[in-house]
Amino acid sequence: MLAITAFVVAGSYAQYRVALNVRANTAEIHQVLEYVSAVDKDVLSLAQVAFDELNALRATEARGDSAFTEVWRVTDNAGCGSGTPVKCTLQEDGSYEVLFLTCKHVTYQSTDFLLHNMDESRHLYGAPGQVHPFLDLALIVCYSSDEITVSPIGTAAPMYGDTLTMSGYPACQGPWTSTGMASVHGKASFGVFGGCSGGPVTNSRGEVVGVVEATLGNEFFTITFASFYVTLADAKDWLIAVEILE
């Protein structure tokens, strides 16, 4: 069963924070809806968003597909972010060098990282890699004894109205996924929470076309559905220079 952590935030943000790790049945979500409605009716619609997201995930699971691209949790001494593996290269000693794409602001305060995959079955230690000279993009370098599945990169810029899906780890929980519509360049209507920075933004073909960067709001937990991502079409030359793309 896919797991999702649904975060519901009140209009006053800091006052009400409701989190539920959903693994079994929709009755648990109904309990959250009832609780939130009793606490503050203004946030009932936000709880309903989480409920709708869960139903979408279950529909995907029933088709036998995966709702997530490869998204890993990135932790360091400064906090938590997200990242996706984009290159895995066999080394002479039989190990694999794995490059994770994330945001520069996820990596700039640290010199070492701990990365976990979606089902917590494996972890890797990483170090800072190349950073983009002006975009909020960076690489984390890890080494693995086994080959790691990488995410395909797409460098065609999303068009207005395209369906985009982000994946990440809000508050180090999850993974979480949210689907929305591309609007102006680098902006979409999917939901983003603190901790999702660096997570992949994928198109309908499953290609990573962007990296989650920010959302509008004034607290750690925000649901505004006005989210920003770094478009990889703008970073194509850099991705070639760091040998992610040929």
Band (pLDDT 50/70/90 cuts) for residue 34 is low
Whole-number pLDDT of residue 99: 98
In 3D, which of 165, 212, 169 has the Cα closest to residue 81? 169
Per residue in 2-29, pLDDT (tens digit) is: 333 333 332 222 222 233 333 333 444 4
Mean pLDDT along residues 70-86: 92
Which are the contacts of 12, defined by CB distance < 8 A and separation ≥ 6? 40
For residue 127, the 8-state DSSP code is: E
Is 123 exposed, middle or buried, given 0-12, 13-18 or 19+ CB atoms closer than 10 A?
middle
Token match 């994946």: residue? 167
Whole-number pLDDT of residue 219: 45
Q: What is the 3-state secondary structure (H, E, C) of 168-224?
A: ECHHHCCCEEEEEEECCCCEECCCCCCCCCCCEEECCCCCEEEEEEEECCCCCCCCC
Distance of CA 228 to the CA centre of its chain: 12
Q: Give the integer Cα–Cα distance in Å for 65 and 245.
A: 27
pLDDT above 60 (res 62): no
Band (pLDDT 50/70/90 cuts) for residue 222 is very low
* Mean of pLDDT over the chain: 76
Whole-number pLDDT of residue 77: 85
Whole-number pLDDT of residue 215: 75
pLDDT above 50 (res 51): no
Share of the chain above pLDDT 70, in %: 68
* Range with the poorest average pLDDT among 50-64, 87-101, 161-175, 202-216: 50-64
Per residue in 118-152, pLDDT (tens digit) is: 988 899 999 999 999 999 999 999 999 999 999 99
Tokens, residue 46: 């936000």
Band (pLDDT 50/70/90 cuts) for residue 225 is low
pLDDT above 50 (res 221): no
| Residues forming beta bridges with residue 120, ordered by sequence position | none
* Range with the poorest average pLDDT among 64-68, 128-132, 169-173, 175-179: 64-68
pLDDT greater at residue 184 or residue 31: 184
Residue 210 amino acid letter: G
Residue pair 12/46 in contact (Cβ under 8 Å)? The answer is no
Whole-number pLDDT of residue 21: 33
